[in-house]
Chains A and B, each alone.
Chain A
Amino acid sequence: EVQLVESGGGLVQRGGSLRLSCAASGFTFSTYAMNWVRQVPGKGLEWVSYIGDSGSTIYYADSVKGRFTISRDNAKNSLYLEMNSLRAEDTAVYSCARVLNGGEEAFDLWGHGTMVTVSS
């Protein structure tokens, strides 16, 4: 089955760190660019970070630049998000999303997300 499954969320104190993982299955992970997107429950979607298929191209939202690091391990079919210096406003459900192949620049596959709660 083609799917993305996130893990690693939880409750962390302000200033703390977390590492999120996204396990891909059912498709050739190494040929797809990937993203992290977050959503405060009941609110809208916010793009967080992008990584190209080889890992050499990376972008971040200004709100997380310098604090979050996206990476991938194509041998393990996994995407990661290292989150440091966490703030209360980082509290959200974090989902990984695949970029539609062929340079179409749309997100065609999403995981269900993992909840990150930053306590102040």
Chain B
Amino acid sequence: DIVMTQTPLSSPVTLGQPASISCRSSQSLVHSDGNTYLSWLQQRPGQPPRLLIYKLSNRFSGVPDRFTGSGAGTDFTLKISRVEAEDVGVYYCMQATQFPFTFGPGTKVDIK
């Protein structure tokens, strides 16, 4: 199984400042079709997860452009250019390149 790790596990951020979350996979997420099926989800308190980024760097419909996904192979990053109050929550990376699908442990983002 592909193991997903995230750093940091907790990230207190200042409103208006950038934030960055790293995700690493135990093996390459490049699929045989050439795509990298790495996605990022946000889970606000008391809410189901919400898709932010799919296939490494594609912003999902309605997601603000302050969220950016990047990376390659086994190392990935989610960046928030300027954190807003509504960005508080837990962020998960997820790989769907290979079954079983696996999630990172989550990074909790809150405001300083």
Contacts and interface: CB of A to CB of B under 8 A. Distances in A.
The judgment on whether A and B are partners is: yes
Interface of A: 35, 44-47, 50, 59-62, 95, 97, 100, 104-108, 110-113
Contact of B92 (A44, A100, A104): A44
B48 A35 contact: no
A16 to B, nearest CB: 25
The 4 closest A-B pairs by CB, nearest first: A106-B54, A105-B96, A110-B48, A106-B39
Given A44-B105, A110-B49, A104 B100 contact: no
Given A104-B54, A107-B41, A62 B48 contact: no
Contacts of B58: 104
A62 B103 contact: no
Contacts of A107: 39, 41, 49, 51, 94
A62 B99 CA distance: 10
10 contacts: A44-B105, A45-B49, A50-B99, A62-B1, A100-B54, A100-B60, A105-B37, A106-B94, A107-B49, A113-B48
Contacts of A45: 41, 49, 92, 94, 103, 106
Nearest to B60: A108
A70 B7 CA distance: 33
Interface residues of B, number: 25
B102 interface: yes
A104 B55 contact: yes
Contact of A62 (B60, B94, B100): B100
A108 B51 CA distance: 5
Interface string B47-66: 01111001100101000000
Interface string B74-104: 0000000000000000001010110111111
Nearest to A61: B100
A46 B103 contact: yes
A106 B51 contact: yes
Given A44-B105, A45-B103, 18 more contacts: A44-B92, A44-B103, A47-B101, A50-B99, A60-B100, A62-B100, A97-B49, A100-B54, A104-B37, A104-B58, A105-B55, A106-B37, A107-B51, A107-B94, A110-B48, A110-B49, A111-B48, A113-B48
